[in-house]
Amino acid sequence: MYTIAFMTLIALTALALPAAGQMGLVDDVTQWQAGIDKGGTKMTLAKADAGWAADVAADGGGEDYPKVRRVFGQAQDWRDFMRLRARLRVTCDDPTVRQKRIAFVFYDEQTRLPNHPGNPMRQQAVAHEVPVGRWVDINDWLTNIQRATIRQLDLYIYELPPDTPHKYRWEVATLRVEGVGEKAAVLDGQVFSLNEIKGAVGRPAGAVKTDDGLELVMGSAGEVARVGSDSQAFGVAAADRPTGLLVRDVTQDAPPVMVGGEIKQVGGEVRQSARLEALGLAVNATYKGLGHSIEISGAIADLRGEDRAVTVYFALPVADAPWQWWDSMSKARVEVDERGELACLETRMGYGLGGAHSKYPLGAITWPERGGLTLAVRMDEPVIHRIAYNPKLRLFFIALDFGLVPEKRTDGRPLSEASFRILLYRHDPAWGFRSALQRYYEFFPDFFTKRVNREGGWYVWGDMRKTEGALDAGFAFHWGPGG
């Protein structure tokens, strides 16, 4: 078993300092051992064409906790390594098994539990459900893992499901920890070489403007040539950073690429149309001013007739300035953490790239005394999104995750394409997120209309009528199967 622990990183002196950059962990199968915590499950471990393979003969019944373990003779200082990358596959002889669970469990000398017999190290874990029969790439942050004096790494490859005897095999072709150095950058939580991240600069091709003076100028390469007002440029395009609409095939290691295509002014709108043959995707979009906001709406479509996992981005260039990112109405940040980006995210979710999505339907950055920019989605159009500010790349962006399949909805519309809509607007730099939120309220008053006659707390499960004092305690709404 393991316990997921969220630890604060502590600056400690370790006994061994690995080389900077990255460190492979599965090159030598003799450094690993296979075993179980209990029961009659049998395991064998052998070298594979790449990495190693673990064969498991599960005995059925309860969980035996089969695992593969590597113990380090000297404590390993992994503080410079912030990512875990793995490429693996699980196969099973039971056709009813659709997925298997794996957990990467880290043990650090500084996490020993003083009140437990033997003072064991705390188990710090990153877990995944892996579909059976296909190679899967895993890319996890280690920033919540204490890793100054790593002594042991376990891979728990769980027996259940099912609870009947069966055989399964885990192949681990790649397993390494990586740092983010000067030659790399984080974009939407993923690490890429700076040489891979490319922008483009063309000639001005069209522009849209809000009633309060915010202007978005689009270039012929699909870039955001300029964003700003008549008196203040908030950002301009550069060849070393992608701007405008971007797209990424999440199954590949490559960074997002600019959509590009044809950009043209049509009346008060700018229209963009592109076919990305290398990615097998088509994108169409329209940019237009709507009162005090700019709307970017469009659709992405699969051209291959396959299941696809894609992310659509809209990225704004921002000036090299002391931009503040707002986590809430009362908290703004300038300094990034180990992840290299400023964002306010729900994490470890069962959906979205890396299990992350934004807590709010809007995100805001402020250049003190100069201006403020806000990106937002509509709450009546549910979408998995992340809004972030990247100081290293000088980008303020929103990411939208889509799954495309070669099927049709009940009304005949294709599920191989997905629509999107993004809002861009200004806010008062003196009020930051408060101003951004107030404008959102004004854009969408129906989202915030009070529709109940009484207010109170939310009672979950049980039967509120049978709970003495529930009404006196302020409960007003009941949710659950009882009552």
pLDDT in tens, the chain (483 residues): 333 222 222 222 233 333 348 899 998 999 999 999 999 999 999 999 999 999 999 999 899 999 999 999 999 999 989 889 999 999 999 999 999 999 999 999 999 999 899 999 999 999 999 999 999 999 888 888 999 999 999 999 999 999 999 999 999 999 999 887 677 888 998 888 888 999 999 999 999 999 999 999 999 999 999 999 988 999 999 999 999 999 999 988 899 999 999 999 999 999 999 999 999 999 999 999 999 999 999 999 999 999 999 999 999 999 999 999 999 999 999 988 777 899 999 987 888 888 899 999 999 999 999 999 999 999 999 999 999 999 999 999 999 999 999 999 999 999 999 999 999 999 999 999 999 999 999 999 999 999 888 888 888 877 878 888 888 888 888 877 654
Distances (CA, A) of 34 to 62, 118, 120, 273: 19, 22, 20, 54
Structure tokens at 317: 């260039």
Which pairing describes strands 475-479 and 457-460: parallel, antiparallel, or unpaired?
Answer: parallel
Torsion of CA 185, 189, 423, 271, to 10 degrees: 60
- DSSP SS3 for 286: strand
The model's pTM is 0.76
* Same domain (yes/no): 268, 327: yes
- 192-202 per-residue burial string, b: 16 or more CB within 10 A, e: under 16: bebeebebbee
* Same domain (yes/no): 148, 286: no
Q: Where are the beta strands (DSSP E) in 135-209?
A: 136-141, 150-157, 166-178, 184-187, 190-193, 204-209
* Same domain (yes/no): 294, 361: yes
**Residue 417 contacts residue 301 (beta carbons within 8 Å):** yes
Q: State the burial class of residue 21 (Cβ atoms within 10 Å of its Cβ: 0-12, 13-18, 19+).
A: middle
Count of positions (residues) in the chain: 483
**Residue 309 contacts residue 131 (beta carbons within 8 Å):** no
Structural domain span for residue 87: 22-178
**Residue 14 resides in a domain:** no
**Residue 12 resides in a domain:** no
What is the distance between the alpha carbons of residues 12 and 79, in angstroms, rounded to a whole number? 9
What is the distance between the alpha carbons of residues 45 and 34, in angstroms, rounded to a whole number? 6
Kindly report the backbone phi and psi dihedral angles of residue 13, in degrees, each rounded to the nearest multiple of 5, phi listed first. -90, 120
* Same domain (yes/no): 281, 303: yes
3-state class percentages of the chain: helix first, strand second, coil last, to nearest 5: 5, 50, 45
Question: Domains in the chain: how many in total?
Answer: 3
**Residue 360 contacts residue 345 (beta carbons within 8 Å):** no
Residue that is last in its domain, among 178, 201, 226: 178
* Same domain (yes/no): 464, 399: no
**Residue 428 resides in a domain:** yes
**Residue 13 resides in a domain:** no
